[in-house]
Amino acid sequence: MSRRAVIAGNWKMHNLQKEAAELTNGIMSELKEENKEALPEVIIAPTFTSLYAANKALKDCGCGKVRLAAQNCYFEEKGAFTGECSVQMLKDAGCEYIIIGHSERREYFGETDEMVNKKAKAILNEGLVPIICCGESLAQREAGVTDYHIASQITKALIGLTKEEVSKSIIAYEPIWAIGTGKTCDSAEANRVIGMIRKVVKGLYDETTGEAIRILYGGSVKPNTIKEQMAQSDIDGALVGGASLTADSFAQIVKGAM
């Protein structure tokens, strides 16, 4: 089965509205000559306050080559949850995908596997696509518990989801020690862990579901690393942080995945 490649830019806490609009326009300008069908699924994830500006730039362009994601959501539909955004609100803002369980949210904001699972359900219930992040710390890698930890994160994230829901979801394997450090995980090793994740999904569901789910690598992805990463059998794309903040480097990564 062939899986469509995905290149997603996680802007993290960067870009005011004007900058978000400029970056969005810059990316679309870089991709102007590319045939839409030949492109991977290209996703940008601005911070909440810049979603409107990015969505407006996407709509004004109308080329349909780039899609919008949020970096987080809350799993309840509405109510007294000061400071949170529901999936429905993010859908209303133009989002088609939502990143959940990013290691920065787990580390700094106490996001647990149980919350990730509730968020995944809420996202799928609204017809959006969750980008479920997982990854081990350096200490876990050195202790030899990488596979156990990742398998546990994924198993817990998927509790109660149907085959159909899992098939259209996206997982991002982001080793924490590779995020923002310039220390990219060796491509063969990233492929091995991603292959292991695919086996876990096959074990929980079936062969077809495991073959359908897209699994990305994230952690210091750069224009000069993407080709080797995309050449791996199980890596379906990339979740890009730092290198998604300029149109030129993000577009190079997108083109490197074609």
The rounded distance, in Å, linking the Cα atoms of 197 and 215 is 8
Q: Is 111 in the site for ligand 13P (CB under 6 A)?
A: no
- β-bridge partners, 9: 44, 240
What are the residue numbers of the active site?
102, 174
Per-residue binding string, ligand 13P, 198-237, x by CB under 6 A, is: --------------------xxxx----------------
Per-residue binding string, ligand 13P, 140-179, x by CB under 6 A, is: ----------------------------------x----x
Q: How many residues interact with ligand 13P (rule CB under 6 A)? A: 14
Answer for which of 68, 158, 193, 239 binds ligand 13P (CB under 6 A) is 239
> Whose CB is nearest to ligand 13P?
241
Q: Is 10 in the site for ligand 13P (CB under 6 A)?
A: yes
Q: Is 132 in the site for ligand 13P (CB under 6 A)?
A: no
Answer for which of 46, 175, 210, 242 binds ligand 13P (CB under 6 A) is 242
Residues that bind ligand 13P (CB under 6 A): 10, 102, 174, 179-180, 218-221, 239-243
